Structures are given as C-alpha cells and as structure tokens.
C-alpha cells in the first residue's frame, strides 16, 4: 500500500467528518446571518415573478368532492381574546374607505349589505400548508373601489383592523381580483366574531394571513405599508 493511499483514506475521513459537523451545526438553525441579504434579494425577485404571473382571469376552483371545513375552520386573531366590537363604547361599527380616493365613505354593515353581493365558494390557503373550503359572502372589492372612485395611481391598499394593530397591505391588482370580497357572511350566515365579524377581506389569491379580519379601514395608498406578519418576516406578497 502506497503512501498515496493513506492520504486518500485520511482525506475521506476528514471530509466525512467536516460535512457531518457542518450538518449538525446547521440543524434546526436559522442559517448563517450572512445569508439574510441574499434571502431578501430572492424574496424581492420572487415577488417580481409572482406579480408578473398574476392574472385577473386565474380563478380559484374548489375540487369536486371537497368538503366544507365548517366548524373545523381554525379561528385566529392576535388579541388575547376574541376581538368583539363594543358598540356601547365605540359607537356603531362602520368601515372607513379612504386614502387616494375621490369619494371617501364610511359604510355600516347595513350599507355594505345593500351593495352588490357575491358568494364565493373557494379554498383558503394557509401559510402553514393547510387548506379549507368555505363560502364567503360580501361586496366585491372592485365594486367598493369604483364606489369611492379610487385613484388609478393608488398601487397599494392597506386593510386595517381592531384586532390590536393587525393590518396587511396588498398590491392593488390582487385586491381588484374578482374573487376578492369584503365579506360579512360565512357559509350562509352572518360572520361570527371568531372569524372576523363584522367584516373582513377574503380572497383565495392571498395566503390567509394577508386576509385581515375585524376590518376598520381600507386605505388606498401610493406605497406599500407592510403588515402585521409581513413586518415579522413572512413574505409581504403572500400570493397564491
């Protein structure tokens, strides 16, 4: 056996050990800090690609045979208890639609229900990986935008809530998608506090966390305005 062979064997064990050590160090970690900029760059590029892929004509379709989630739909909010609008303290609930609009409005639940209504049976795509089928009833966002005479320069829209400081801003194109509704009904009944009463935004073109519940304001904006989860590091675009 030559010296060469010994070197080779040493090399094999050393490289094996090195790779194992690197793997163990990487396990369950967030990865090297140095990669953060690269990851941010990738997210920006991916957002560009997702924006380019977006089509108003791409519709979410529920698969034949899929069952309604019903009471298996997870309820979720960021306040400590279910957020409920207290009329005796805050007065009658109304949704403010404002920002870059020609005709800002305050709409009560009655007002919303008098506007053109749609019911969409669609999938809910959660960032965690689960889906749920539900029927959402409400006003198409595009009807609201027309009603308030939204400025075409408003490329973003912020959905704000009374669930602490929860809000999420969207690109206007996703908001104008036909399946985006300001929903006050779920599965044929008025929305319950667990799922965002009195009204929430609902669209299958965005992941669950982008769909703000417990709405108070819809603000048309020239720039994006982050969001509750987006600011904590989830993708801002969150498109489906």
* Listed residue (186, 163, 185, 168) closest to 239, CA to CA: 168
Tell me the per-residue interface mask from 128 to 167 with other proteins, x by CB under 8 A, - otherwise: xxxxxx----------------------------------
Q: Which residues in 84-100 are b (16+ Cβ under 10 Å) and which e?
A: ebeeeeeeebbbebebb
Q: Which stretch binds other proteins (CB under 8 A): 96-104, 119-127, 150-158, 164-172?
A: 119-127
Taking the alpha carbons at both ends of the chain, their separation in whole angstroms is: 61
User: What is d(CA 181, CA 47) in angstroms, rounded to the nearest whole number?
Assistant: 23
- Burial bucket for residue 32 (CB in 10 Å: 0-12, 13-18, 19+): exposed
Token output for 49 = 């690609």
User: What is d(CA 215, CA 163) in angstroms, rounded to the nearest whole number?
Assistant: 8
> Applying CB under 8 A, does 85 fall inside the site for other proteins?
no
Cβ closest to other proteins, residue 63 vs residue 81: 63
> Applying CB under 8 A, does 188 fall inside the site for other proteins?
no
In the list 83, 196, 198, 239, the residue contacting other proteins (rule: CB under 8 A) is 239
> Applying CB under 8 A, does 189 fall inside the site for other proteins?
no
Min separation Cβ 46 and other proteins, Å? 5
DSSP count for the chain of H helices, then E strands: 6, 10
Stretch 38-77 residues interacting with other proteins (CB under 8 A)? 38-39, 42-43, 46, 50, 53-55, 58-61, 63, 66-70, 72-74
Cβ closest to other proteins, residue 60 vs residue 151: 60
Residue ranges in contact with other proteins by CB under 8 A? 1, 8-9, 11-12, 15-16, 23, 26-31, 35, 38-39, 42-43, 46, 50, 53-55, 58-61, 63, 66-70, 72-74, 123-133, 204-205, 229, 232-235, 239-240
């Amino acid at each position: 056996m030559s010296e060469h062979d010994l070197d080779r064997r040493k090399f094999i064990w050393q490289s094996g050990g090195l790779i194992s050590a690197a793997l163990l160090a990487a396990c369950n970690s967030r990865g090297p800090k140095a990669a953060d900029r690269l990851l941010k760059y990738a997210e920006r590029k991916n957002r560009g690609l997702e924006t380019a892929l977006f089509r108003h004509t791409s519709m979410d379709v529920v698969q034949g045979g899929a069952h309604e989630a019903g009471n298996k739909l997870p309820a979720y909010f960021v306040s400590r208890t279910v957020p409920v609008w207290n009329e005796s303290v805050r007065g009658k609930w109304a949704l403010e639609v404002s920002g870059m609009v020609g005709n800002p409005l305050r709409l009560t639940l009655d007002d919303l229900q008098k506007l053109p209504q749609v019911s969409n049976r669609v999938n809910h795509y959660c960032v965690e990986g689960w889906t749920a089928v539900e029927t959402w009833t409400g006003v198409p966002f595009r009807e609201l935008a027309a009603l308030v005479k939204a400025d075409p320069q408003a490329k973003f829209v912020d959905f704000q809530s009374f669930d602490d400081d929860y809000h999420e801003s969207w690109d206007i194109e996703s908001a104008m998608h036909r399946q985006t509704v300001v929903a006050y009904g779920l599965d044929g009944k008025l929305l319950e506090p667990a799922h965002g009463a009195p009204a929430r935004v609902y669209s299958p073109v965005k992941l669950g966390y982008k769909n703000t519940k417990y709405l108070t304001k819809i603000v048309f904006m020239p720039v994006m305005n982050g969001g509750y989860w987006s600011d904590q590091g989830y993708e801002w675009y969150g498109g489906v």
